[in-house]
């Protein structure tokens, strides 16, 4: 018994020493206990925005689940992400503020790296909403979303993460989303009856550092040296965040190999509606062309076919400074459509 009491006494002494140390560590300047500040949880930490970030997901339960997400464009607190699930590409525009992460726009079949950040919002759906506290809840279009946990342990192919768990419920349908700090969405789960579809993070990082930048194979048309026919060239181009496909095409057409556009010719703006692409060039398109009628015809065909095919358009309208195209050899009306396949 004496031996037992001795060990109890030693244990109490050690506990008192450590308790005293802990208390002293939390004392203020006046000797009063001081609360250690908690690290504030910020929405932006759980939905990172940075150049060339990408995410790869493994899908379960559906052939089009999973895929790859790339960061296409960033302006301030807005980001455009492109999700390729193997069947289609969807461009989504998000706004990240202290209030939350909002989906502003979603564009189906977005294969052409067009910057939609300036488009008028068609919706304002929250993926994550402040304050980041358990039981925080909001409603959108018949779905109730609730933050159920701030420290949910999730294991996916990319590893184990501590996540914010957000659950959306609408009738018999349930959506679970898991966001990890510094990573973003690591898991998404859709449940409806016996149907369960999952998307689990397999890889995440900087696409440039990982030598994994998104690529596109482009077809460039240009006149032969003898100016008697149109030639074509296939080139594989890599794209970083901020690189628009149409700007890359314009740059390629100025290349020494092709010389379709002069160095001073600028594409002022463009639009694409119902399969028709409208290109509005600066005046240098005409003034610096310096070509006979035959060669000019080949140059114009090169422009129409290169832009049209690579941007999935059946027709192209050529404008110069907002007006129709007019040179010494050709005149096209302001709204005249030139067929791509001719």
Dump the DSSP string for 33-73: B-PPPPPPP-GGGGS---TTEEEEEEEESSTTS-EEEEEEE
Q: Is a pLDDT exceeding 50 seen at residue 207?
A: yes
Compute the C-alpha angle 30/34/37, nearest 5°: 140
Which H or E run includes 221?
Answer: strand 215-223
Q: How far, in Å, CA of 330 to CA of 338, rounded?
A: 12
CATH code 2.50.20 region(s) in the chain:
43-206
Q: Which helix (H) or strand (E) holds 295?
A: helix 293-310
Helix (H) or strand (E) holding 339: strand 338-339
Residue 233 has φ and ψ, to the nearest 5°, of -140, 140
Backbone angles phi, psi at 305, to 5 degrees: -75, -40
Per-residue pLDDT at 9 exceeds 70 = no
Which helix (H) or strand (E) element contains residue 297? helix 293-310
Compute CA 258 distance to the chain's CA centroid, rounded to the nearest angstrom. 31
Mean pLDDT of 315-325: 98
For 340, the 3-state DSSP assignment is coil
- What's the start-to-end Cα distance of the chain, in Å? 104
- The structure tokens 């990082």 sit at 205
pLDDT tens digits, residue range 260-304? Answer: 999 999 999 999 999 999 999 999 999 999 889 999 999 999 999
pLDDT, tens digit (0-9, with 9 covering 90-100), for 180-203 = 999 999 999 999 999 999 999 999
* Tokens (6 digits) for 331: 């005149």
Q: Mind listing the pLDDT tens digit for each residue in 107-152?
A: 999 999 999 999 999 999 999 999 999 999 999 989 999 999 999 9
Residues facing 187 on adjacent strands: 178, 200
Helix (H) or strand (E) holding 83: strand 78-84
Distance CA 132, CA 164 (A): 8
Look up the pTM and report it: 0.86
Angstrom distances, CA of residue 103 to CA of 51, 136, 268, 313: 19, 19, 29, 28
Task: Look up the CATH architecture of domain 43-206.
Answer: Clam (2.50)
Beta strand pairing call for 53-60 and 67-75: antiparallel
């Amino acid at each position: 018994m004496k031996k037992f009491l001795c060990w109890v006494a030693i244990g109490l002494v050690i506990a008192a020493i450590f308790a005293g140390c802990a208390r002293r560590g939390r004392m203020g300047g006046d000797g009063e206990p001081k609360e250690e500040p908690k690290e504030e949880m910020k929405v932006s930490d759980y939905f990172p925005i940075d150049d060339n970030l990408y995410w790869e997901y493994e899908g379960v339960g559906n052939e089009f689940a999973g895929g790859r997400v790339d960061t296409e464009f960033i302006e301030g607190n807005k980001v455009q992400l492109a999700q390729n699930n193997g069947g289609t590409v969807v461009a989504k525009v998000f706004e990240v503020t202290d209030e939350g992460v909002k989906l502003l726009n979603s564009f189906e079949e977005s294969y052409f790296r067009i910057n939609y950040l300036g488009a008028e919002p068609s919706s304002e759906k929250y993926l994550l909403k402040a304050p980041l506290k358990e039981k925080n809840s909001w409603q959108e279009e018949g779905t109730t979303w609730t933050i159920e946990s701030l420290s949910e342990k999730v294991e996916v192919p990319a590893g184990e993460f501590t996540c914010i768990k957000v659950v959306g419920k609408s009738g018999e349908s349930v959506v679970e989303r898991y966001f990890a700090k510094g990573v973003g969405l690591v898991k998404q789960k859709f449940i409806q009856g016996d149907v369960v579809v999952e998307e689990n993070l397999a890889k995440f990082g900087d696409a440039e550092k990982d030598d994994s930048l998104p690529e596109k194979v482009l077809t460039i048309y240009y006149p032969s040296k003898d100016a008697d026919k149109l030639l074509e060239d296939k080139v594989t181009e890599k794209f970083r965040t901020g690189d628009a496909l149409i700007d890359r095409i314009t740059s390629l057409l100025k290349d020494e190999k092709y010389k379709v556009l002069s160095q001073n010719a600028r594409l002022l703006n463009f639009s694409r509606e119902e399969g028709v692409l409208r290109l509005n060039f600066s005046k240098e398109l005409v003034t610096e062309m310096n070509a006979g009628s035959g060669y000019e015809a080949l140059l114009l065909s090169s422009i129409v076919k290169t832009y049209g095919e690579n941007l999935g358009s059946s027709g192209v309208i050529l404008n110069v400074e907002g007006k129709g195209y007019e040179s010494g050899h050709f005149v096209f009306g302001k709204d005249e459509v030139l067929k791509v396949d001719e």
